[in-house]
A and B are shown apart, each in its own frame.
Chain A
Amino acid sequence: MFSVRNLSFAYDGGSQILDRFSIDVNSNEIVSLLGPSGCGKSTVLRLVAGLLQAEEGEIVWSEPQELAFVFQDHALMPWASVEKNASLPGRLKGQIDEKAVFEALEAVGLGGLENRYPSELSGGQRMRASVARALAASPTLLLMDEPFAALDEILRFQMNELLLTLKAQREFSALFVTHSLFEAAYLSDRVLVMQDGLICGTVEPGLDRTLGAEQQRTSPAYLTAIQSISRLMAGDSA
């Protein structure tokens, strides 16, 4: 789908965040970037989104992509209804696909709440509205920057399930930034562990998606993936 080749980036007057960073993301794949704060995970997302410009390197796309971004904060417009928030990408592009907006809201379980305002929603519903806004853009690549980090554990599990359900229903790739190795191991086809602007290891959990959530979370593949990720995060790249 796209290849990031030798990207280097430093914020104005700051230290080098990324130094010749490279990854490949395939179609219909969820790739997680995992690592300590300041290792450059979010910077990679913003470079891929075109929100930041790299000093060196390039991003090569196999074909034009429709991008969508989900932030850690729901980033909804408090003055606009759920429907208006979800239709924002279309509004900015000058053509609102009402069917896509309606389907996105239905998909995240917010059907019937279109006219509510963010202040009238719970924390989980706001995050769902934020995901619906991204889905309404019919993305081929979903960029997610710690989208569920601010949610409590139960809600976080629910949102993980929602993402996997959506992924099973729609064709899109996702580049997912997280601090949680459990979340990364559960959601991802590939987990890239980052340290100081470089990838220090890759883990492919290979979970059997035909199993239920509980079975997947207790499966040997999941536990092995967590162990492997833990070792990489501890600095053992062997």
Chain B
Amino acid sequence: MKRILLPVMAFATLMVFWQVYVTFYDVPKFILPAPSAIWSALIADLPLWTSSAVSTLSVTIQALAAATFSGVLFALGFSLSRTFEATLYPFAVVLQVTPVIAIAPLVLIWVGIDNVERAQVIIAWLVAFFPILANMSAGLKSVDANLLELFTLYRATPLQRFRLLLWPTALPYLLASLKISGGLALIGGVVAEFVAGSGTATGLAWRIIEAGNRLQIEKMFAGLLLLSGIGLLIFYGFALLERLLLRHRA
């Protein structure tokens, strides 16, 4: 309870302080709008904000699902073949260390001219993939050597070995990586939309750009608020899942 109450109280205090400061010092709203103005901007265009948030969330979920599937698959391949790992791991590192902002224009040209969302998903996948691959690989390698011997002694099939030993061992690593990759997928999707600028993009990033172009700062903050909300939702969603699935482990 304390873990929920404390940040909520801190947030409420900040909002009150912000509101009082802006009102008391008469800060122009194109520099720092009051929280009440941001809230009003949000409520006034609620259907539009909702559809933009759904669009951003949809891109994030698609990218995260693709990153999870491919990350797990590649990690499994790495655990089965050192040659496969030695061949492909450097490419995965290249994907990770190359700034996504530099790759985004290329991806947009290749696949995003007629469908920005497709490019967004690919760019978000690019940034979300590596943490899952790296963590899952580490998880699969952290199998208890004694348990591995026990499975060999009882002649476990490869499927039994994966289902009963490798997957449960790697699960905490995967869940930890999902908390990181969830946020990264959201960032990747937003970056892609920023790079695309306009066109068919309908997500929150585009709403922020649009508001910025019109100096509607309260709308920019409203978009940021929703983006943070989605980020928090993803992070704490996975934290909750982690807590539920790993509740019996020390």
Minimum Cβ distance to chain A for residue B156 (Å): 5
Flag if A91 contacts B149 (CB, 8 Å): no
Flag if B154 contacts A79 (CB, 8 Å): no
Instruction: Answer whether A79 and B248 are a contact pair too, CB < 8 Å, given A51-B153, A92-B160.
Output: yes
Task: Judge if A117 is at the interface, Cβ distance under 8 Å.
Answer: yes
Task: Judge if A40 is at the interface, Cβ distance under 8 Å.
Answer: no
Chain A interface size, under 10 / 10 to 19 / 20 to 34 / 35 or more = 20 to 34
Task: Judge if A102 is at the interface, Cβ distance under 8 Å.
Answer: no
Task: Judge if A73 is at the interface, Cβ distance under 8 Å.
Answer: yes
Flag if B248 contacts A69 (CB, 8 Å): no
- 27 A-B pairs with CB atoms under 8 Å apart are A46-B149, A49-B149, A49-B153, A50-B152, A50-B153, A51-B149, A68-B153, A69-B149, A69-B150, A69-B153, A73-B144, A73-B146, A75-B144, A77-B164, A77-B165, A78-B249, A78-B250, A79-B246, A80-B168, A88-B154, A91-B164, A92-B154, A92-B160, A117-B248, A117-B249, A118-B250, A137-B154
Task: Judge if B233 is at the interface, Cβ distance under 8 Å.
Answer: no
Q: How far is the CA of A216 from the CA of B12 in the complex (A)?
A: 72
Task: Judge if A67 is at the interface, Cβ distance under 8 Å.
Answer: yes
Task: Judge if A119 is at the interface, Cβ distance under 8 Å.
Answer: yes
Q: Which B residues are within 8 Å of any A CB, using their own CB?
A: 144, 146-147, 149-156, 160, 164-165, 168, 171, 246, 248-250
Q: Which A residues are within 8 Å of any B CB, using their own CB?
A: 46, 49-51, 67-69, 71, 73, 75, 77-81, 88-89, 91-93, 117-120, 137
Q: How far is the CA of A91 from the CA of B165 in the complex (A)?
A: 12
Instruction: Report the nearest A residue to B161, measured CB to CB.
Output: A92
Minimum Cβ distance to chain B for residue A50 (Å): 7
Instruction: Report the nearest B residue to A91, measured CB to CB.
Output: B164
Q: How far is the CA of A73 from the CA of B145 in the complex (A)?
A: 10
Which of A69, A93, A119 has a CB less than 8 Å from the CB of B250? A119
Flag if A79 contacts B153 (CB, 8 Å): no
Which of B144, B154, B248, B249 has a CB less than 8 Å from the CB of A89? B154
**Other A-B pairs, 19, CB within 8 Å; known A73-B146, A77-B164:** A51-B153, A67-B153, A69-B149, A75-B144, A75-B146, A75-B147, A75-B150, A77-B165, A78-B250, A79-B246, A79-B249, A80-B168, A81-B248, A88-B154, A89-B154, A92-B154, A119-B249, A120-B248, A137-B154
Q: How far is the CA of A92 from the CA of B165 in the complex (A)?
A: 11
Minimum Cβ distance to chain A for residue B52 (Å): 40
Q: How far is the CA of A80 from the CA of B147 in the complex (A)?
A: 13
Q: How far is the CA of A79 from the CA of B246 in the complex (A)?
A: 7
Flag if B151 contacts A92 (CB, 8 Å): yes
Instruction: Report the nearest A residue to B249, measured CB to CB.
Output: A78
Interface hub of B149, B152, B153 (most chain A Cβ within 10 A): B153
Measured between beta carbons, the chain A residues less than 8 angstroms from B156 are 92
Q: How far is the CA of A163 from the CA of B235 in the complex (A)?
A: 49
Which of A51, A73, A77, A118 has a CB less than 8 Å from the CB of B152? A51
Flag if B153 contacts A71 (CB, 8 Å): no
Measured between beta carbons, the chain B residues less than 8 angstroms from A88 are 150, 154, 164
Measured between beta carbons, the chain B residues less than 8 angstroms from A119 are 248-250
